[in-house]
Structure 1
Amino acid sequence: MTEQHALPTVLVVSLGGTIAMTPSKEDDGAARPTLTAEDLLKAVPQLSNIHATVTTWTFANKPGASLSLDDLADLAEQLQAMDADGAFDGVVVTQGTDTLEETAYLLSLLYEGQAPLVVTGAMRASHLAGADGPANVLAAVTVAVSPRARGLGVLVVFNDQVFEAARIRKTHSTSTGAFAAPDTGPLGVVVEGNLRLLVTPAHKPLPLAACMTQPARVGLYVATLGDDGFLLAPLLEQVDGMVMATFGVGHVPDSWMPLLEGAAQRIPIVFASRTGGGSTLTGMYGFPGSEKTMLAAGLIGAGHLDAYKARILLTVLLRCGRDRDEIRRTFAPAGTTAEGRG
């Protein structure tokens, strides 16, 4: 007698975004999020070829730009509980691409489940020629159900490529191939209905789930040519933490240093590269405003984390009540750099 095994279950959670948008019937025909998670699955008949039971949950229906950190924290907490109860073997989250690189990283900090969590979306709404949502959903479900994805943390699947949440960047405003990982490339690909891993992540986020109970406001300021710091000064007075998107490997105008050094005594300040690829350094340059002088002034290097993800990590740490030393220690392995180890 042949032993029967239950099919694995994949939960598809919809947050809205372009993938869920249709033309408005009220006025100008512009796209707005209207489709439910169940609607998204109806556009992917090939899901029947995947040996899995696919269920749905419409958690929200917002543009990506309108999602909040509390929305994602609530989602992560509920998915964590569902994973602990064995409610699914994998989960797919669909959302708007405007903030996907940030929300995927935030979920990677808050979701500790072993079941794969895969984030995807679409660059073209369902009513447009060449809509990419159905293909991305199919690929994401394929990855979520794969045993090879188990234990890899939160992944992003787009255009049949699989990315680590900490490395993904949106690099184009309209292309269906908008997502890339400048430093590492994709972790794998979906080919002929299967996940093929090419590499595995070098680092996993530290568990920070269920601790975002304290308010915290974290700013992001971009260094630009000729900025005299006039606008930076009042901003530093109004935030609980700051991320500086700096030139190159971690450089700012030398005139900013007294301001930053003073502020770093009050609040944690992290510096990341505004380039979106590569790492901040620790001692290559030593002129005023260089990475070496900023570290000496008490700032924290983000390493390979880009400025957007550095802001997410700093916000979560502050909302979890972590002190300056804990923040420094967390950023070192998260950014794969040596700053503050020990």
Structure 2
Amino acid sequence: MPHIVILATGGTIAGASDARSQAGYNAGQISAEQLVAAAPGLEMIARISTEQVATIGSQDMNETVWFTLAARIDALLARDDVDGVLVTHGTDTLEETALFLDLVVSGEKPVVLVGAMRPATALSADGPLNLLEAVLVATAPQARNRGTLVVLNDMIHGAMDVTKSSTMEVQTFRSPNFGPAGHVTPNGVVFFRRAARRPVTYILPPAPPLPRVSIIYAHAGMDDGEIRGAVAAGAKGIVLAGVGDGNAAKAAIAALSEAVAAGIVVVRASRTGSGPVMRNIEVPDDALGFVASDFYGPAKARVLLQLLIANGITTPGAVQMAFGGPI
């Protein structure tokens, strides 16, 4: 049987109820072994091993855990007796961890992230079925060479586009720009597109932290205070979560231009949730030295920019190529 290793990090999927409210719960209370025991039928799909990497809610996910996951996944995938790795994770920052692993983990074997919107102790918890379906995906031959995948609520998503879209809905994860990569049916795993993993894998520093990159959220009445604060705090890069197609007030754009002159990499993304940010539409990127994020939202643009800076890729042209080229 295929051998799948589950690396548990906590999250709602491992949550337990709390008396503070009717729906209150604490993340990361259930062990990896308990998660497996709550999903009968796994033993018919694969031989399962478990490791507890962390016991946190994903609001507390951090680069130390990221580095640990990346190193452990690389080591596991290099073994002939391991066919895939599954990471249990909270939903709040799952998309960021998925992109990080997609960018730094090499190899063709499946890496799958899975979570849940309801804690393990809830009536009609969604974690057990999500876990079983994630193992089905991790053991599917057609899941190879697709990079990191995300599986929840019958759907399979790629790491680049997937995002959490609702605070409460079970069907919270969506891929607004490209659509889901596939789905899990009662008859098996179905992918909608051919496997086409991009070849770039970034090198991690020997230890965290990654370079500091700040996200600045644009809004009506915006001035330059947040941007100057990020510069003063030592940011090596700034991602603008801009209005519309990545725009911001004139004072903010002027401050971002000053940041570029000081050697800080500036990427314009959009707070809208879907659609590309393209060069030189409303903002003169060529003149100001800005980078347009293409289809990367602010949170994911931050992850990619951290890795680019860590790998010495800082010129606007080279950064723009990593974000999708001259768009």
Same fold at TM > 0.5: yes
Alignment match, 2:182: 188
Of 201, 213, 236, the match for 1:240: 236
The one-letter amino acid of 2:295's match is: H
Of 272, 278, 281, the match for 1:281: 278
Alignment match, 1:251: 247
Provide the rounded CA distance (Å) in 2 between the counterparts of 1:12 and 1:129. 24
Alignment match, 2:57: 63
3-state DSSP class of the match of 1:45? coil
Q: Does 1:329 align with 2:324?
A: no
Cα drift, residue 203 of structure 1: 5.5
Given the superposition, is the C-alpha separation of residues 171 and 215 from structure 1 closer, same or farther in structure 2, using an over 3 Å criterion?
Answer: closer
Q: Does 1:37 align with 2:28?
A: no
Cα drift, residue 65 of structure 1: 1.0
3-state DSSP class of the match of 2:225? coil
Provide the rounded CA distance (Å) in 2 between the counterparts of 1:112 and 1:175. 33
Moved over 4 A (4+): 24-29, 212-215
Cα drift, residue 91 of structure 1: 1.1
Structure (1 or 2) with the larger CA radius of gyration: 1
3-state DSSP class of the match of 1:33? coil
Cα drift, residue 255 of structure 1: 2.7
Give the TM-score normalised by structure 2. 0.92
* Residue ranges of structure 1 left out of the alignment (5+ in a row): 1-6
3-state DSSP class of the match of 1:163? strand
Provide the rounded CA distance (Å) in 2 between the counterparts of 1:26 and 1:179. 27
Cα drift, residue 43 of structure 1: 0.7
Provide the rounded CA distance (Å) in 1 between the counterparts of 2:79 and 2:195. 27
Contact 1:156 1:162 (C-alpha < 8 Å) held by counterparts: yes
Alignment match, 1:169: 163
Q: Does 1:302 align with 2:293?
A: yes
Alignment match, 1:100: 94
Of 261, 269, 272, the match for 1:272: 269
Cα drift, residue 205 of structure 1: 6.0
Provide the rounded CA distance (Å) in 1 between the counterparts of 2:2 and 2:197. 27
Alignment match, 1:46: 41
Contact 2:10 2:55 (C-alpha < 8 Å) held by counterparts: yes
Contact 1:212 1:316 (C-alpha < 8 Å) held by counterparts: no
The one-letter amino acid of 2:306's match is: T
Provide the rounded CA distance (Å) in 1 between the counterparts of 2:249 and 2:204. 39
Given the superposition, is the C-alpha separation of residues 250 and 169 from structure 1 closer, same or farther in structure 2, using an over 3 Å criterion?
Answer: same
Provide the rounded CA distance (Å) in 2 between the counterparts of 1:100 and 1:205. 22
Cα drift, residue 270 of structure 1: 0.8
Cα drift, residue 337 of structure 1: 4.2
Of 142, 153, 157, the match for 2:151: 157
More moved, 18-27 vs 270-279: 18-27
Summarize deviations over 1:131-167 as a string: whole Å, max 9, x none: 1000110110000001100111000011110000010
Q: Does 1:82 align with 2:76?
A: yes
Give the TM-score normalised by structure 1. 0.88
Contact 2:279 2:285 (C-alpha < 8 Å) held by counterparts: no
More moved, 67-76 vs 182-191: 67-76
Contact 2:147 2:197 (C-alpha < 8 Å) held by counterparts: no
Cα drift, residue 202 of structure 1: 5.7
More moved, 138-147 vs 187-196: 187-196
Q: CA RMSD in A?
A: 2.2
Cα drift, residue 201 of structure 1: 6.1
Given the superposition, is the C-alpha separation of residues 31 and 332 from structure 1 closer, same or farther in structure 2, using an over 3 Å criterion?
Answer: same
Contact 2:15 2:30 (C-alpha < 8 Å) held by counterparts: yes
Cα drift, residue 74 of structure 1: 1.6
